[in-house]
Structure 1
Amino acid sequence: MTAQIGTPPVRHSGGTPLLEIVDLEQRFPISRGLFRAPVDFVHAVDGISFEIAQGESLGLVGESGCGKSTTGRMLVKLMEPTSGSIMFRDGDYERDVANVTGSEVKQFRRRVQMIFQDPYESMNPRRTIFDTISEPLAVQKVGTVPEREERVLELLRLVGLTPPENFLFRYPHELSGGQRQRVAVARALVMNPSFVVADEPTSMLDVSIRISIMELMTKLARELGVSYLYITHDLAVARYMCERIAVMYLGKIVEIGPTEEILNNPRHPYTKALLSAVPVPDPSIRRTPVEIKGGISKAINPPPECRFIERCPFAAEVCRTNPHPPLEQQGDRHFVACYRASEIADINPLKQIEESMEAARPAAG
C-alpha cells in the first residue's frame, strides 16, 4: 500500500503489487474564464495512492459521488487521468497505464476487464449471448470461430449457466437479471484477465440472487487467481468479498487496511459513521450513533483542509488550520487520514452492537 501525497510509500506485504497507483487525479472543468481557460474544476479523484497485490480483492467503499467509479474507470483505461501513475505489472508486462497509447492499449486490454453495475444496460439487446461474450476474442483476433464458441461454452459452464448450449444463442431480454450478470462475469473472464474492476455488480439485483453472484465471483477469484477492485457502498458486501477495504470520501482515500481490522477497529470518523448506519437485526439493541452533518460536500474547488471537516462531529482546530491529513499508520497495514484518529479510537459502532447483542442473550443453563 502506498500512502497519499506527503508520506513515504508503504508496501503491501504480498510482494510486488499487480497494480501500484500513485497520486492519481481526475479533475473535470466546469467553467471557463475570459480567455477560455478552465477556472473551476470538480476534483472527482484527488491524489489517491494504493496498491493491489496479485490475487487480492480490494474493496473501494463510499457514498455516491465520492469518486470510486471514476477511479475504477481510470484503472481499466476507460477514462484518462488528469495526472498520476498507474503501474501495472503482470509477468514480464510492466507499463504505466496512464501513459499507454495506440496499439499498447489493445495489449493492456487483454489483461484487464470491467463488470458494470447494470446487467440490463451493459449488453446490446440485438446481440446474442455468444456475440456478447466472444466480442473481446474477436476484437483481439484470438482463435477461430469454432474455438471461440468452445471458449464461450466453457465460460457459461464456469459461471453456472447450464446446459450452456441452451444459452449460447439467446438474447439478453430472454434472461433474468441474475443470468445476465453471470453473462457479464463470463464476458469479463473470457480473455483470462489478471485484474477485474467490479463496479457494484450486485446492487441492481434482487437480494435473493445477490449472494449467488458474490459466491460465484469469490470462487472464480480463488480458482483463477484474478485480482479485483470491488466497488460498493455496502460494507457487508465488502466484508464478504474483500481482503482489504479502502474507504473513500470526496475524492480522497481516508482509511485503508485489512477488512476485519477496518470493521473491528475503525479509526476515521467517516468509517465510524458508515458502520453506525448498519442496520441492527434486534430493535432492542441500543448504540451510540456517530452522527454526521448534512449531505456529501461539493467537490468543486474544495478547500485545502480536511475534506470531511464540514460534516465531522470530531472536528477541532488542528483540522481547520492544516491541509488534508496524509495517510498515517495506525496498526498492521492499517492507514488513516485523520489528525484525531488516536483520540477517537475507542468509539467503535460495530463493537457496541456486538457487546449489546451478547449482553441481551439469555444466560446458558
Structure 2
Amino acid sequence: MLADSGTASIDGRLDGNGEALVAVAGLTKRFPVTKNLFRQPSSFIHAVDDVSFRLAPGKSLGLVGESGCGKTTVGKLLVKLLEPTSGEIRFRFPAGDAHGGSGQPRAFRRQAQMIFQDPYESMNPRRTIYDTIAEPLAVQGIGSLMDRVDRVTEILTQVGLTPASSFLFRHPHELSGGQRQRVAIARALVIGPSFVVADEPTSMLDVSSRTGIMLLMQELAARLGIAYLYITHDLAVARYMCHRIAVMYLGKIIELAETEELLRNPLHPYTRALLSAVPVPDPTYRRDRPDIRGDLTLPIDPPARCRFYDRCPIGTDFCRDNPHPPMEERAAGHWVACYEA
C-alpha cells in the first residue's frame, strides 16, 4: 500500500535522526513463478521480503548486495513502477506540495524520480536531448515553451553539459557514456523532486566519468536538499556517496548502520564477506578468504529460517530451527538480523 503522509504511525526503528521523508514498513513483493488462467500460482519469487527503513530529507541511503538480492525491485516499488504485495510506503514531502498518494500519480511523479542504470537504454534514440529532458515539464504542465527551453538550458548547465546550447538538439548516440548519464540525471532533476532513486548510476561508466558523476550528485543533493536511495553493489561507491548503508540478501535487509560504523564494525557474516571482496590498492596486503559455502540460494519459496543459513560459517541448529532473525539494535543506530552476531 502506498499511503499519504498522515498521523498514523509507521515502523520508525530503522531510521536516522529527524523526521523521515520516506518511511517504509514491512515492504514485500512476490512474483508468481507461473501464471495459469485456471488456477492460482502456488510458487512465488520472494524478491523483497519485510523490508523497513526510513530516509530523512537531504540524506542518502545506500542499498548494497549482490545481483538478484532485490535492490532494484525496492527502488521500483518506491517510485511506483511496481506495486507492492504488502507493506507500507509513506512519503512526507515539503509543506505545500502534494504528498504523493496512490490517487495522485502526477503529483507524486513531481516529487519522486528514478535514475536508471543504463542511460542509453532508458532514452528514446529518436528524441533530442531537449525533448528527453523537457518531457517531464510538459507532462506536469510546467511553464510555457520558452520557459521550458530556459529550464532545460539551466539544468544542463547544472549537470556540467556546457555550453548547453550545443547539447539541446543532439541525440543520445552523439554523446559519450558520461554525458548520457548527466542527461539522465538532468531529466530526473528538472522538475525539482525531493526524492530520487539512483539505480547504479555509475556502473556503466569508466573510472574518470564515474568520479565526475558522483561529485555531481553529491553537489546537487547538498544544494537542492534531495534525498537519495542509492542502489549499488560497490561498497567503495556506497561509502563515498551515502550517509547510511543497508545490506540486502535474498530480499531481506540483514544489516543497517551509519556508513563508517558498518564498514569499521560489520556484524553479519555476509557483510564481512562483502567487505573482504573489496580490492585493496596494496599488492603486498593479504587477508583471509571468507568462509562462505555454496552459491546464492534460489529465492523461490525460501524456507522460513535465516536466508543466509545455507552459506553461513557461524550458523547453528538454532538458526536452522527458528524463523528468520528480526532486526535488532546491537549498538547505537547499528541494526543486524543475526542470532549469532
Q: Give the structure-2-normalised TM-score.
A: 0.94
**Counterpart residue identity of residue 180, structure 2:** R
For residues 346-361 of structure 1, the aligned pairs below 5 Å read none
Per mean C-alpha deviation after superposition, the further-off stretch among 285-294 and 314-323 is 285-294
- Asked whether the equivalents of residues 86 and 96 of structure 1 are also in contact (C-alpha less than 8 Å), the reply is no
Return the alpha-carbon distance in structure 1 between the equivalents of residues 248 and 31 of structure 2: 18
Cα contact 1:88–1:94 (8 A) shared by 2 = no
Q: Distance in 1 between matches of 2:118 and 2:254?
A: 28
Secondary structure at the counterpart of residue 254 of structure 2 = strand
Q: Which of 64, 68, 80 is residue 67 of structure 2 equivalent to?
A: 64
* SS at 2:310 equivalent: coil
Matched, 1:326 2:326: yes
Structure-2 change in CA distance of 1:45 and 1:33 (3 Å): same
Which residue does 2:206 correspond to in 1?
206
Q: What is the match of residue 173 of structure 2?
A: 173
Question: What is the letter of the counterpart of residue 40 of structure 1?
Answer: S
Give the Cα–Cα distance (whole angstroms) in 2 for the partners of residues 334 and 297 of structure 1.
26
Segments ≥4 residues shifted beyond 6 Å: none
Task: Name the CA distance, whole Å, in 2 between partners of 1:34 and 1:208.
Answer: 51
Q: Aligned to 2:76, which of 66, 73, 77? A: 73
Report the AA paired with residue 182 of structure 1.
R
1:15 and 2:10 correspond: no
SS at match of 1:70: helix
Aligned ranges 1:190-339 → 2 under 5 Å: 190-339=190-339
Helix, strand or coil for the counterpart of 1:86?
strand
1:330 offset after TM fit, Å?
1.2
CA contact (8 A) 2:12 2:54 kept: no
Q: Deviations over 1:13-69 (max 9, x none)?
A: 422100000000100011368951110000000111000011110000001100000
Q: Any stretches of 5+ residues in structure 2 without a counterpart?
A: 1-9
Shift of 1:208: 2.0
Tell me if the contact between 1:87 and 1:94 (Cα under 8 Å) persists in the aligned partners. Answer: no
Distance in 1 between residues matched to 2:288 and 2:281, nearest whole Å: 16
Q: 1:286 to 1:31 in 2, by over 3 A?
A: same
The SS at the match of 2:43 is strand
Distance 1:185 1:158 in 2: 10
Q: Which protein is bigger by CA-based radius of gyration?
A: 1
Structure 1 residue 213: deviation in Å?
Answer: 0.5
Amino acid aligned to 1:57: S
Q: CA 1:142–1:293 in structure 2 vs 1: closer, same or farther (change >3 Å)?
A: same
CA distance in 1, matches of 2:139, 2:171: 20
SS of 2:318's equivalent in the other structure is: helix
Secondary structure of the 1:110 match is helix
CA distance in 2, matches of 1:278, 1:66: 18
1:36 aligned partner, one-letter code: R
Q: Report the count of equivalent residues.
A: 331
CA contact (8 A) 2:98 2:108 kept: no
Displacement of 1:283 in angstroms is 2.4
Give the partner amino acid of 1:241. M
CA deviation after TM superposition for structure 1 residue 230, in Å: 0.2
In the alignment, the residues of structure 2 paired with residue 25 and residue 8 of structure 1 have an alpha-carbon distance, to the nearest angstrom, of 14
Aligned partner of 1:36 in structure 2 is: 39
Q: Give the letter for the 1:82 counterpart.
A: T
**Runs (5+) with no aligned partner, structure 1:** 1-6, 342-365
SS at match of 2:219: helix
- Aligned residue identity for 1:76: V
Deviation at 1:280, TM superposition (A): 2.2
Aligned-CA RMSD value: 1.6
Preserved contact between residue 32 and residue 39 of structure 1 (Cα < 8 Å): no
SS at match of 1:186: helix
